[in-house]
Amino acid sequence: MMMEEITAAFPAIEILQNEPLAHYTHTLTGGPADYLAFPTNVQETKSLLAYAKQENLPVTVVGNASNLIVRDGGIRGLVMILTKMNKITSDGQTVTAEAGAAMIKTTQVAQAHALTGIEFAAGIPGSIGGAVFMNAGAYGGEISEVVTSAEVLTPEGEIRTLSNQELDFGYRHSSVQDYHDIILTATFTLKPGDGVAIQATMDDLNAKRAAKQPLDLPSCGSVFKRPTGHYTGRLIQAAGLQGFQLGGAQVSTKHAGFIVNIDHATATDYLNLIHHIQEVIWQEDQVHLETEVRIIGEEPTQK
């Protein structure tokens, strides 16, 4: 009866039951969410969180699901996908974007207003919330360098504005990961530039990305963090693992730091392949490859 209660409480919000998250992840893998909601604004997000707390439902928040693996057992409780919260505005030298806005679209808005500093993110496929959560980076730039503040919803239901310092950014890390806040908006402070030059830089970086990365196949982006003193892709190549396949998941033949779905892979295929790569690289090089991709959800039930 819970589904009837939720939809009655939130008639304006799209809510699905037992929805496969494979429909939303960039790997095209992942088990079902008990309840999947698509809030369109801050108030709806806040109300859903309050309802879940009242009903003792666990809450999981997802953005564009580009650097995410959801295990095949799916996710219990309420999952919120924030991609309908996607407004982007510009004022002077700032760009403010809602959590579900695409990072790529945000860089385009900056370019349209001749604002420079965020070009490095022109090809990052995630959402703003995910980019801040992970301190996403590319081509020598990181989100931490351009974010002035982020508005978050705490697990207790309080809306707070966190400064760059309070976000406590590190390599693929922010304080949001530690305190389980929900990012609502982020504000970027940029510099005036030349729109044509900004576009040229973005085009150049996107051409480099397309030349090196398997953008034509489903993947979760860069799988592993860069270990100190090494390049992940080179380690995997040197170990003879490029092109290695388990189930439908394969170490990309274009870039060994990526795992692609080439034949109806499951999340379990992905995780088995990740563990295999970690074991081989440890044996060969005594280097521990730490995952950059976020892995959530439950193991599938054994039949």
Catalytic residues: 172, 222, 292
Helix segments in the chain, DSSP class H: 2-9, 42-54, 103-112, 128-134, 164-167, 175-179, 195-212, 232-238, 267-285
Contact of 93 with 50, CB cutoff 8 Å: no
53: three-class secondary structure by DSSP: helix
- Rounded to an integer, what distance in angstroms lies between the CA atom of residue 52 and that of residue 70? 21
Q: How far is CA 202 from CA 13, 14, 148, 275, 298, in A?
A: 36, 35, 22, 35, 38
DSSP H or E segment with residue 251? strand 249-251
Question: Which one-letter amino acid corresponds to residue 192?
Answer: P
- Rounded to an integer, what distance in angstroms lies between the CA atom of residue 24 and that of residue 60? 14
Q: How many CA atoms lie within 13 A of 142 on its CB side?
A: 12
91 Cβ partners below 8 Å, 6+ apart?
Answer: none
273: three-class secondary structure by DSSP: helix
Q: DSSP per residue over 176-191, as a string?
A: HHHHT-EEEEEEEE-E
